[in-house]
């Protein structure tokens, strides 16, 4: 992609971000962005799948920020033939939370969608409305998916539910032994959010010893996000400052800074 195309792509990103702050009037163009990227970007459209997903995610986030006024259009988007559009619609409704109750019927139908991601995001949205009994079985099933990214998303959504997902603790503990480190990290983060802080923190500390540098980096970043709750990881993070990988060292330094900034050390 040339410089001119990259600049236009960045302008589109800025436009989508701004639309989220404009209220109900921005719903139609954002829905259009979800359903037809080509019409939004025109002849210089971003052709890669990654760019398309990024733009859809931005539009989805903007719709979530708008909130209740976007619900009717998002409910209709759950019936779109494009699974990516349905995924984004369900994710937006999950962001809106209880204010999206008008879409409960379409979300319940989405629990049987052919696309696993749609089912996961719809389950997260319903859980945010208090329908955890319908959501948890779907998410627990997704934790057993053969696709690692689907397992990862299921663990993340369970974490977003928080203490209401306590019944998922055994499955999340099992996910700490997943074959993919990203799933392990999301499961550990979810355990913390569900209320099992010690188990989740210990799992992240162990991942600082992973053979994969990306896993060590992600574990350090996750510990940093925990702030004061990650005090038990300080020693391990200090060791990670000596890691052979520069990104891991940087992530460990950032994590320590966050922990100390939120809870300053008394000794000097």
- Using an 8 Å Cβ cutoff, are 137 and 112 in contact? no
* Predicted local confidence at residue 28, as pLDDT: 85
CATH dotted code for 160-268: 1.25.10.10
| DSSP category for residue 68 | G
* Predicted local confidence at residue 2, as pLDDT: 39
What's the whole-model pTM score? 0.81
pLDDT (average), residues 130-149: 94
| DSSP category for residue 100 | G
* Predicted local confidence at residue 21, as pLDDT: 63
Choose among 251, 266, 160, 161: nearest CA to 208: 251
* Predicted local confidence at residue 153, as pLDDT: 94
Distance linking the first and last C-alpha atoms of the chain:
52
Tell me the pLDDT tens digit for each residue of 57-113. Answer: 788 888 888 899 999 999 999 999 999 999 999 999 999 999 999 999 999 999 999
Q: How far is CA 167 from the centre of its chain?
A: 21
141 Cβ neighbours under 8 A, 6+ residues apart:
none
Dihedral angle, C-alpha 177, 183, 189, 191, nearest 10 °:
-50
Point out the least confidently predicted range of 49-53, 58-62, 153-157.
Answer: 49-53
pLDDT (average), residues 192-213: 96
- Asked if pLDDT for residue 31 goes beyond 70, the answer is yes
Break the chain into its structural domains and give their ranges.
160-268
Task: Report how far residue 172's alpha carbon sits from residue 191's, in angstroms, rounded to the nearest whole number.
Answer: 7
Phi, psi of 54 (to 5 degrees): -60, -45
SS3 sequence of 200-252: HHHHHHHHCCCCCHHHHHHHHHHHHHHHHHHHHHHHHHHHHCCCCCHHHHHHH
**Other CB atoms closer than 10 Å to residue 23's CB: what's the count?**
13
If one compares 234 and 262, the residue with the highest pLDDT of the two is: 234
Helix (H, G, I), strand (E, B) or coil at 104: helix
Tell me the pLDDT tens digit for each residue of 206-226. Answer: 999 999 999 999 999 999 999
Angle at 168 between CA 96 and CA 123, to 5 degrees: 30
- Asked if pLDDT for residue 264 goes beyond 50, the answer is no
Distances (CA, A) of 83 to 47, 89, 135, 146: 18, 10, 19, 19
Task: Report how far residue 67's alpha carbon sits from residue 23's, in angstroms, rounded to the nearest whole number.
Answer: 8
- Asked if pLDDT for residue 5 goes beyond 90, the answer is no
């Amino acid at each position: 992609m040339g410089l001119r195309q990259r600049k236009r792509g960045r302008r589109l990103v800025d436009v989508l971000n701004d639309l989220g702050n404009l209220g109900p009037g921005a719903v139609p163009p954002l829905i259009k962005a979800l359903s037809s990227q080509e019409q939004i970007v025109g002849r210089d459209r971003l052709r890669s799948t990654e760019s398309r997903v990024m733009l859809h995610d931005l539009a989805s986030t903007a719709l979530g920020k708008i909130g209740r006024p976007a619900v009717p259009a998002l409910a209709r988007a759950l019936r779109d033939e494009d699974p990516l559009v349905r995924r984004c619609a369900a994710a937006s409704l999950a962001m809106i939370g209880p204010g999206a109750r008008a879409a409960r019927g379409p979300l319940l139908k989405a629990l049987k969608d052919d696309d696993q991601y749609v089912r996961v995001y719809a389950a997260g949205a319903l859980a945010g409305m208090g329908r955890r009994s319908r959501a948890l079985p779907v998410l627990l099933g997704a934790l057993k998916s053969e696709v690692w990214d689907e397992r990862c998303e299921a663990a993340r959504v369970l974490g977003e539910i928080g203490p209401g997902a306590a019944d998922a603790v055994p499955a999340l503990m099992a996910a700490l032994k997943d074959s993919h480190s990203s799933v392990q990290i999301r499961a550990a983060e979810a355990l913390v959010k569900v209320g099992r802080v010690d188990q989740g923190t210990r799992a992240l500390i162990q991942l600082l010893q992973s053979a994969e540098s990306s896993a060590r980096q992600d574990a350090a970043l996750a510990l940093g996000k925990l702030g004061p709750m990650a005090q038990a990881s300080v020693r391990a993070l200090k060791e990670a400052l000596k890691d052979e990988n520069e990104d891991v060292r940087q992530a460990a330094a950032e994590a320590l800074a966050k922990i100390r900034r939120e809870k300053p050390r008394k000794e000097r």
